[in-house]
Amino acid sequence: MREEEFSVTPWEVKGKVDYDRLIKEFGTDKIEEGLLTEIKKYTHDLHPLLKRKIFFSHRDLDWILAEYSKGVKFYLYTGRGPSGDVHLGHLVPWIFTKWLQDKFDVELWFQLTDDEKYLFEKKLGIRDAKKFARSNALDIIALGFDPEKTHIFSDIQLSGLLYPQALKVAKRVNFSTTKAIFGFNEQSNIGQIFFTSMQAVPAFLPSALAEKNIPCLIPHAIDQDPHFRLARDVLPKLGYLKPAAIHCKFFPGLKEGGKMSASKREDAIFTTDSKADVKKKISNAFTGGATSIKEQRTKGGNPDKCSIFQYYCYLFEWDDEKLQTIRNECKGGSLLCGECKKRLIERVEKFLEDHQRKREEAKDLLDKYLVEHSKKIFELYDK
């Protein structure tokens, strides 16, 4: 693959992603300054992930805000494919989703697609997928979503409620469309071809249950856009609104290039990693440093190519001035990679200590967040 080539699908990201080109190819809209000002009217401040253009693209976010200003509340929908442990990259859109929930005081539906992961991951059994769904839910709860307003569910567990809704979508999508959007072929298993209709369901389920249209905003990494492009096409045919979306970039791995991948254990920091793991992984990470200390002192490092610097940007330095200082000191040659890594190790360790404690506490909270039976959902809408 040449440097300028890349590919982004919901199941695989390859090459160095050109996000501006992706906006054009997918047909989404860039988040411009005017829209940021609009968001700020309601949130009063801007999350660093917005300021840093890590959330960089959207569909119909301006419409969601216009409705909100008229007193029409939206709900949030996001999800996770539980194929293994959660790593720090997964937390980025979720942390942002929590910020949105806090600022707009809205409901959140959180889909765990254990069905998807069973269908798409060769080695994963149904039991494994269900087990990961439950353990990943602990990571989600640990982030502190509002228990009264957050509904986490597994597709398999809640299938009795979701399946008839998914059928409505499936009936309106033909084989050639899924082939064109997702690249399926004659060898794809038939569950994969059906799956996107399950991912479409939470984009209208609350409207179906409430028997009135409620706008939906989906924060997600840009690779999931094909699913929602399809959902936006089909939902109006069912009498529902098109879901809006806000998209983020991929969290970089610790090695050169590409997004953080759960398949390479060494390339990512998992929420369940020990201090020793963190230290080892960060110490071995790819940086933008020069080949020798002497050279770095004189010529400086390159933060834009550095995985450690990206960690500060995405999660570990929310203060813009302090981030700028790191950048300047790196470029000026006064901050060397060893020291910069050491500081990051301390932050990640502290973050994980805190997260792991909350994750333990979440075990007692599962019942509050998890929607496991249709009955519980109907109760929600009988209030």
**Does 199 engage in binding with ligand TRP (CB under 6 A)?**
yes
Nearer to ligand TRP, 10 or 215 (CB): 10
**Closer residue to ligand TRP in complex, CB, 119/315:** 119
Among 116, 139, 225, 317, binds ligand TRP (CB under 6 A): 116
Q: Which two tokens stand for residue 192?
A: 């994969």
CA distances from 193 to 91, 159, 170, 360 (A): 28, 17, 9, 37
Q: Which is nearer to ligand TRP, 235 or 330 (CB)?
A: 235
Tell me the three state secondary structure of residue 189: coil
Closest among 29, 75, 17, 86 to 55, alpha carbons compared: 29
Judged by CB under 6 A, does residue 178 bind ligand TRP? no
Say whether residue 78 binds ligand TRP (CB under 6 A): yes
Interface stretch with ligand TRP, choices 57-65, 77-85, 287-295, 364-372 (CB under 6 A): 77-85
**Considering beta carbons, is residue 218 or 313 the nearer one to ligand TRP?**
218
Map 20-88 to HEC letters: HHHHHHHCCEECCHHHHHHHHHHHCCCCHHHHCCCEEEEECHHHHHHHHHCCCCCEEEEEECCCCCCEH
Q: Which of 59, 98, 220, 259 binds ligand TRP (CB under 6 A)?
A: 220
- Identify the helix (H) or strand (E) that includes residue 225: helix 225-234
| Residue 79-98 contact track with ligand TRP, rule CB under 6 A, x = bound | xxx-----------------
| Residues of this chain, 8-37, that bind ligand TRP according to CB under 6 A | 10
User: How far is it, in rounded angstroms, from Cα 236 to Cα 206?
Assistant: 15
Closest distance between ligand TRP and the C-beta of residue 97, in Å? Answer: 9
The least CB distance from residue 218 to ligand TRP, in Å, is: 5
- State the virtual CA torsion across 306, 308, 314, 315 in degrees, nearest 10: -170
Give 166 or 285: the residue with its C-beta nearer to ligand TRP: 166
Per 3-state DSSP, the chain is made up of helix, strand and coil in percentages (nearest 5) of 55, 10, 30
Sites of contact with ligand TRP (CB under 6 A): 10, 78-81, 111, 113, 116, 199, 218, 220, 224
